[in-house]
């Protein structure tokens, strides 16, 4: 296990093996997005309750899932960075924080745009939107802390601790927000039932969720590879890479 982590986490070896992954993930992402969008727009029928507006679900729900998933990736790489002092894991923290924050913002924006036709207002203090908002604040904190240090390695370690404290707190925050929203649910806002998912709606949703996941991984690999080069700029293998690729 230790050997495995050290081997795949060494900057030079990571740069080599991640290239293929990045390429294939990009190809798979494009294919999945095409298939998912086709299924979502042309195969899935309109919802009997919400009409065509429910098609926002195919990007809203994957974005919301990703906002949680990326935070987990960040916290896990934080643990790896702190315990085994893996440089690549340190880089992953900062790079995934930015992508995760953008997914969270997307989940919020699409949620608001979906809420307007459904609830009549762009914003409702319901449990899911509220905890998504708090999650965005948590991402802001990690990004701000990460960027505040002059030495990127110190920044990564500080951000790692914050992310780990965050991942312990997220379930508590979610639970408290849920409790709070059930007590304060305004009577005027009708809680509509979850649309019972027909299989033709479920397929595009899952395909899009998978596409978002591969998109994230491809982008994370790309960003991490760049940052690895920047941090290791004095290593001889980086010079070789630069000579070869230019």
Partner 1 sequence: MLAIRRRRELSNPLVFFVIVVSLFPLGVSPDQDLLSKMAPGVIWVTALLATLMSMDAMFRSDYDDGSLEQLLLLPGPKILLIGAKITAHWLSIGLPLVILAPLMSLLLYFPTHAIGSLVITLLISTPILSLLGSVGVALTLSLRSGGILSSLLILPFYIPVLIFSTMAINASANSLPVSGYYALLGAFLIVSALLIPFAVVAALKVSYN
Partner 2 sequence: MKEFFDMGGYAFFVWWSYGIVTFVMVANVIVAKMKRKRIFKQLQELSEES
Q: Which residues bind partner 2 (CB under 8 A)?
A: 41, 46, 51-53, 55-56, 59-60, 63, 99, 102, 105-106, 109-110, 113-114, 116-117, 215, 219, 222-223, 225-226, 229-230, 233, 238-239, 242-243, 245-246
Instruction: Specify the residue, 153 or 231, whose C-beta has the smaller distance to partner 2.
Output: 231
Contacts of 228 (CB under 8 A, 6+ apart): 11, 14, 15, 87, 88, 91
How far apart CA 107 and CA 111 sit, in angstroms, is: 6
Minimum Å gap between C-beta 177 and partner 2 is 23
> Which lies closer to partner 1 via its Cβ, residue 13 or residue 152?
152
Burial of 196 (0-12, 13-18, 19+ CB in 10 A): exposed
Q: Which of 196, 197, 205, 215 is nearest to 35 (CA)?
A: 205
Classify residue 51 by its DSSP letter: B
Length of the chain measured in residues: 246
Closest approach of partner 1 to the CB of residue 113, in Å: 24
Binding site for partner 1 (CB under 8 A): 82, 134, 137-138, 140-141, 144-145, 148-149, 151, 153-154, 157-158, 161-162, 164-166, 168-169, 172-173, 175-177, 179-180, 183
In the list partner 1, partner 2, none, the entry touching 63 (Cβ below 5 to 8 angstroms by class) is partner 2
230 binds, among partner 2, partner 1, none (CB under 5 to 8 A by kind): partner 2
DSSP-assigned beta bridge partners for residue 47: 51
């Amino acid at each position: 296990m230790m050997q495995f982590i050290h081997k795949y986490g060494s900057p030079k070896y990571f740069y080599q093996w991640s290239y293929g992954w990045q390429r294939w993930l990009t190809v798979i992402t494009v294919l999945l997005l095409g298939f998912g969008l086709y299924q979502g727009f042309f195969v899935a029928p309109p919802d009997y309750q919400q009409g065509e507006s429910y098609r926002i679900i195919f990007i809203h729900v994957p974005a919301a899932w990703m906002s949680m998933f990326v935070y987990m990736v960040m916290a896990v790489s934080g643990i790896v960075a702190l315990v085994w002092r893996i440089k690549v894991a340190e880089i992953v923290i900062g790079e995934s924080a930015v992508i995760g924050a953008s997914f969270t913002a997307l989940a919020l924006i699409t949620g608001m745009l979906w809420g307007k036709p459904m609830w009549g207002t762009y914003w409702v203090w319901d449990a899911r939107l509220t905890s998504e908002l708090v999650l965005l604040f948590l991402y802001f904190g990690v990004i701000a802390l990460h960027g505040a240090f002059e030495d990127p390695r110190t920044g990564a370690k500080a951000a790692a601790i914050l992310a780990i404290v965050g991942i312990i707190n997220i379930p508590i925050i979610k639970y408290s927000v849920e409790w709070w929203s059930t007590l304060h649910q305004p009577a005027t806002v009708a809680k509509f039932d979850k649309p019972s998912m027909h299989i033709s709606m479920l397929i595009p949703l899952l395909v899009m969720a998978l596409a978002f996941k591969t998109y994230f991984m491809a982008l994370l690999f790309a960003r991490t590879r760049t940052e690895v080069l920047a941090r290791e700029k004095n290593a001889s293998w980086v010079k070789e890479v630069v000579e070869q690729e230019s």
